[in-house]
């Protein structure tokens, strides 16, 4: 493999170009397009024009024996996801594949300054075919969805979790539920509109014969560049209604419950990375930073270290993400299986890209739609501690889901805005 790149003249947004790439790939019958938008590999977007995303019997196979390729960019690599169901001790599944990967030998990258680049790991792809595409009017991609059905508030599950905490079984667990509905139309249009209207930092779109995943996540699970590893766990939430309430975000740092959530999970992530990083290299350069996300404020911390193993070692040590499981993690996984009536699917797994040029980046698959067989599912949940209020935990779920439910209910307006 050899890294090559060329600047492109177009000025369309990432969501617009992904829509164009999706239609192009379907017409050419070369698989589909995949996209990462927001903050990925130091860029605003990394899009794969042609990739076949297939279920993986061995979810960690792409992480093995991938040679490093020198270059200043991304070039291509393995796009895919690892679902939470891989770690569910009950063995249950939503039916969507537990892991999906696909190789892309060329990508379009929108850098931090708004410049589009064609990048490839082979000289065989002609960049000229993309010159017009990044300037072209995007195709209209529309969808329709029913209002999402909500199960009964999971107050009893929260109470049971709090009882387990009170008896000393664990310190914290993330308890979730699943909203579902009917969906028709184009998931790529939903993703493009979501990126445009919600501006999530770690958005990802994957599509295959098995279905589609539309992830509008704000959270970084893992980034590995060279031997440097970073994770940014999010725990702690307050409703957010706009710039005018920015001062309210500071209240998160005054909340005993929210601060406890974040500190416990940050310590868990530190221990996870400590298993595969050089002794003494793991540190927390930022603790309890207040960050905006669609509809909410979050507390976010940063944990980093120097990897002494492989990407496979890193994933096996840290997956599933600590922020969506609990502490200690093994007991939290068991309790989640006991208290949650449905499997999670891709939700709270990880989605992203492994590049031989740029390294590895994966999000935490929260704020994520799973679409298959004419159905759409949205997982929502939150961290439970000894000081949780069961009814407030349900309200937090509704606050997190609200921007996504509004997006689903306004397909025509959102589709026009995205174009």
User: Active-site residues: which are they?
Assistant: 219, 235
Given a contact cutoff of 8 angstroms between Cβ atoms, the answer to whether 185 and 214 are in contact is no
Given a contact cutoff of 8 angstroms between Cβ atoms, the answer to whether 219 and 233 are in contact is yes
Give the containing element (helix H, strand E) for 380: strand 375-384
Given a contact cutoff of 8 angstroms between Cβ atoms, the answer to whether 47 and 34 are in contact is yes
Q: Residue 123: what are its φ and ψ, rounded to 5°? A: -85, 5
> Whole-angstrom Cα distance, residue 75 to residue 3?
6
Structure tokens at 31: 């698989």
Q: Helices 390-409 and 411-418, interaxial angle, to 10°?
A: 70
Given a contact cutoff of 8 angstroms between Cβ atoms, the answer to whether 375 and 182 are in contact is yes
Structure tokens at 118: 């064609």
> Whole-angstrom Cα distance, residue 395 to residue 400?
9
> In 190-322, at which residue ranges do the beta strands (DSSP E only) sit?
202-208, 211-217, 220-225, 228-231, 234-239, 283-293, 296-306
Give the contacts of 362 (CB within 8 A, at least 6 positions apart): 82, 220, 221, 222, 223, 350, 351, 352
Structure tokens at 110: 């929108």
């Amino acid at each position: 493999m050899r890294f090559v790149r060329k600047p492109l003249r177009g000025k369309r947004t990432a969501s617009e170009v992904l829509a164009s790439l999706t239609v192009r790939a379907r017409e050419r019958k070369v698989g589909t397009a995949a996209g990462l938008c927001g903050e990925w590999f130091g860029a605003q977007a990394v899009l794969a024009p042609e990739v076949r995303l297939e279920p993986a019997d061995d979810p960690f196979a792409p992480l093995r024996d991938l040679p490093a390729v020198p270059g200043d960019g991304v070039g291509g690599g393995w796009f895919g996801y690892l679902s939470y169901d891989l770690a569910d001790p009950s063995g249950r599944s939503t039916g969507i594949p537990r892991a999906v990967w696909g190789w892309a030998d060329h990508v379009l990258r929108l850098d931090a300054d708004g410049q589009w680049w064609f990048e490839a790991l082979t000289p065989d792809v002609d960049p000229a075919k993309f010159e017009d595409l990044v300037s072209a009017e995007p195709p209209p991609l529309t969808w329709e969805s029913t209002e999402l059905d909500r199960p009964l508030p999971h107050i009893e599950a929260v109470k049971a979790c709090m009882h387990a905490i009170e008896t000393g079984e664990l310190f914290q667990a993330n308890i979730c539920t699943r909203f579902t509905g009917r969906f028709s139309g184009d998931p790529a249009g939903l993703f493009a509109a979501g990126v445009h209207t919600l501006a999530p930092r770690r958005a990802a779109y994957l599509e295959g014969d098995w279905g589609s995943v539309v992830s509008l996540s704000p959270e970084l699970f893992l980034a590995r560049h060279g031997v440097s590893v970073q994770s940014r766990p999010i725990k702690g939430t307050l409703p957010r209604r706009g710039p005018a309430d920015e001062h309210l975000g500071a209240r998160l740092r005054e909340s005993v419950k929210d601060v406890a959530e974040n500190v416990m999970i940050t310590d868990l992530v530190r221990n996870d990375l400590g298993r595969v990083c050089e002794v003494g290299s793991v540190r927390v350069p930022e603790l309890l930073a207040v960050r905006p996300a669609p509809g909410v404020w979050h507390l976010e911390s940063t944990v980093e270290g120097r990897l002494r193993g492989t990407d496979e070692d890193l994933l096996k040590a840290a997956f599933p993400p600590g922020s969506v499981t609990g502490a200690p993690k093994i007991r939290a996984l068991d309790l989640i299986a006991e208290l949650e009536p449905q499997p999670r699917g891709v939700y709270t797994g990880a989605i992203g890209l492994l590049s031989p040029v740029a390294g590895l980046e994966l999000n935490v698959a929260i704020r994520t739609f799973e679409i298959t067989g004419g159905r759409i599912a949205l997982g929502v949940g939150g961290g439970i501690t000894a000081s949780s209020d069961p009814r407030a935990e349900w309200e937090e779920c509704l606050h997190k889901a609200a921007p996504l439910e509004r997006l689903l209910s306004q397909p025509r307006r959102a589709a026009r805005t995205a174009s």
